[in-house]
Chains A and B, each alone.
Chain A
Amino acid sequence: MSWLKKTFSSTIGRKFAMALSALFLLVFLLQHFAINITSVFSAGLFNELSHFMGTNPLVQFLLQPVLIAGILLHFILGVYLEMTNKAARPIAYAQYRGSASATWMSRNMAYSGMAILLFMSLHFYDFWVPEIVYKYVEVNPEDPFRYYEELVHKFQNPVRIGLYVAAFVFLSLHLLHGFQSAFQSLGARHPKYYPLIEKLGKIYAIGIPAGFVFIALYHHFFHA
């Protein structure tokens, strides 16, 4: 399998891995959003879905580790690539007008990515850690109706809301470039369908984070 190692240690192979993990994360995010949005119109449905995700062994012991691995891979590889890319130009320009030829988003994926990483630690601290503690440390009995309450409770703190909104702005910036970039890294670009990818990318990159922000604000303001 030396060829596989070779492929994934090439610059193109690494970007391929970045793109694959990105697409996986895009799907995950969509799914996450789809469940969360139900909280706006039906506490019952939200609880039901959350209960399923929180207790189904397939989700818990297969999808969840894969997700964590995907996130780790995406971040670690991203940081590694950023470092090697920086090293490819050891002496910096005295003047570099990056904005003349490329968008801010595309030039700052590492920074928007870092911001998202910071947000994710907060998010894990908020939801995932208590969840793990609840289920596996304290071994409380499963209560299929607790999820909605917890969600509403978390969104009462305005500081947290502020952080969430800021994080979603970064997520949006990250996705505005990342969505179509993932397809490019996979080699999926043709004048016929590229405009569609670009459009979908914009819809996704703005729509999904905006949706999350909406959910947070909704629960903040309508359950005070």
Chain B
Amino acid sequence: MKLKLKIWRQKNAQDKGKMVDYDIEGVSGDMSFLEMLDVLNNQLIGKDEDPVAFDHDCREGICGSCSLFINGEAHGPDRLITTCQLHMRKFKDGDTVYIEPFRAGAFPVIKDLVVDRSALDRIQQAGGYVSVNTSGNTQDANAIPVPKSDADKAFDAATCIGCGACVASCKNASAMLFVAAKVSQFALLPQGKIEAKRRVLNMVEQMDKEGFGSCTNTGACEAECPKGISLENIARMNREYLSASFTANE
């Protein structure tokens, strides 16, 4: 099939950038979206033009590198997948496809479709961990039983791949779902409970510092999340945060 691509091109962080049109032919339905871009890039290199820069790595939906806002949606029109898992069979011959970077003030563009998501790392550094040394001198793994339902919920929250689709699709560029996933994972496990208060206060403070918007509970993040992380986590974080605000001893 043939497609008309409208791609955001921006040389570097300082450049203003603009949408540029490209025509591409010979796209097959079995290609992933990124493989379609590979084809485009090979054409561009052949013409001695600058290939389109985009983040990608594992190409199996788990590393969270790939981003892309495709036709107005994070990771494109399909659900519960990342862009690398989006296949061209979701498009029709002759379609026009808008390809833009994940946009947020906290995600400055590095080049073309590549953005800097280190704000998410800094939020994790503010408290997204259990303060236990990796010495191995911990107690036996089965010493504290964890109810299966808690473990399962913690796991569901922990499947977050940190891609930033929640931020990109939120009309407020809010990172609440991302932060809530980590806060929830630890809040649900006995190992994480000890520092739960400090963690949520610090992580939310860092989230606000990075300039993400607030939550309007639209649910766009949950709908666009490639891992289907639930809004319940945001409610849990709200609970954790508010109760920690009023009860933490620091």
**With a CB–CB cut-off of 8 A, which chain A residues contact B29?**
none
A156 CB within 8 Å of chain B: no
Partner of B72, one of A84, A85, A97, A184: A97
A89 CB within 8 Å of chain B: yes
Knowing A11-B204, A102-B218, A106-B217 are in contact, say whether A88-B104 is a contact too (CB < 8 A).
yes
CA distance A10 to B69 in the complex (A): 28
Minimum distance in angstroms from B22 CB to a CB of chain A: 15
Partner of A14, one of B77, B172, B214: B214
Cβ of B173 and Cβ of A89 under 8 Å apart? yes
CA distance A92 to B174 in the complex (A): 14
**With a CB–CB cut-off of 8 A, which chain A residues contact B235?**
184, 187-190
Partner of A95, one of B98, B204, B208, B246: B98
Chain A binder among B59-67, B136-144, B219-227: B219-227
- Chain B minimum-CB-distance residue to A16: B242
Cβ of B216 and Cβ of A187 under 8 Å apart? no
Where chain B touches its partner, the secondary structure class is mixed
Minimum distance in angstroms from B54 CB to a CB of chain A: 16
Total interface residues in chain A, CB < 8 Å: 44
Partner of A7, one of B173, B174, B215, B245: B245
Cβ of A187 and Cβ of B236 under 8 Å apart? yes
**With a CB–CB cut-off of 8 A, which chain A residues contact B246?**
7
Minimum distance in angstroms from B96 CB to a CB of chain A: 10
**With a CB–CB cut-off of 8 A, which chain A residues contact B212?**
11, 88
**With a CB–CB cut-off of 8 A, which chain A residues contact B106?**
88
Partner of A12, one of B103, B204, B211, B220: B204
B171 CB within 8 Å of chain A: yes
**With a CB–CB cut-off of 8 A, which chain B residues contact A10?**
204-205, 208, 241
**With a CB–CB cut-off of 8 A, which chain A residues contact B77?**
100
Within 8 A of B (CB), among A10-68: 10-16
Minimum distance in angstroms from B101 CB to a CB of chain A: 9
CA distance A187 to B184 in the complex (A): 12
Cβ of A12 and Cβ of B241 under 8 Å apart? yes
**With a CB–CB cut-off of 8 A, which chain B residues contact A91?**
103
**With a CB–CB cut-off of 8 A, which chain A residues contact B245?**
3, 6-7, 13
Cβ of B172 and Cβ of A85 under 8 Å apart? yes
Most A-side CB within 10 Å, residue of B6, B214, B234, B237: B214
- Total A-B residue contacts, Cβ distance less than 8 Å: 147
- Chain B minimum-CB-distance residue to A7: B245
CA distance A85 to B73 in the complex (A): 19
Cβ of B103 and Cβ of A186 under 8 Å apart? no
A96 CB within 8 Å of chain B: yes
Cβ of A84 and Cβ of B218 under 8 Å apart? no
Cβ of A109 and Cβ of B216 under 8 Å apart? yes
CA distance A91 to B72 in the complex (A): 14
Most A-side CB within 10 Å, residue of B218, B234, B237, B239: B218
Cβ of B73 and Cβ of A12 under 8 Å apart? no
Cβ of B216 and Cβ of A85 under 8 Å apart? yes
A74 CB within 8 Å of chain B: no
Minimum distance in angstroms from A131 CB to a CB of chain B: 35
Cβ of B242 and Cβ of A89 under 8 Å apart? no
Partner of B100, one of A95, A102, A188: A95
Cβ of A101 and Cβ of B73 under 8 Å apart? yes
**With a CB–CB cut-off of 8 A, which chain A residues contact B71?**
95, 97
Render A176-190 as a binary contact track against B, CB cut-off 8 A, 1 for contact.
010011001111111
B185 CB within 8 Å of chain A: no
CA distance A177 to B234 in the complex (A): 16
CA distance A103 to B157 in the complex (A): 24
Within 8 A of A (CB), among B72-121: 72-73, 77, 98, 100, 103-106
**With a CB–CB cut-off of 8 A, which chain A residues contact B172?**
85-86, 88-89
Minimum distance in angstroms from B209 CB to a CB of chain A: 10
B207 CB within 8 Å of chain A: yes
Cβ of B205 and Cβ of A189 under 8 Å apart? no
Render B1-21 as a binary contact track against A, CB cut-off 8 A, 1 for contact.
000001010000000000100
Contacts A12-B238, A100-B73 supplied; 6 other A-B pairs, CB < 8 Å: A16-B242, A97-B73, A100-B72, A100-B77, A185-B238, A189-B232
CB pairs A–B below 8 angstroms (28 shown): A7-B242, A10-B241, A11-B174, A11-B204, A11-B215, A15-B215, A15-B238, A16-B242, A85-B171, A85-B174, A85-B213, A85-B216, A88-B106, A88-B213, A89-B105, A89-B172, A89-B173, A93-B100, A94-B19, A95-B100, A101-B224, A106-B218, A184-B217, A184-B231, A186-B242, A187-B235, A187-B237, A188-B239
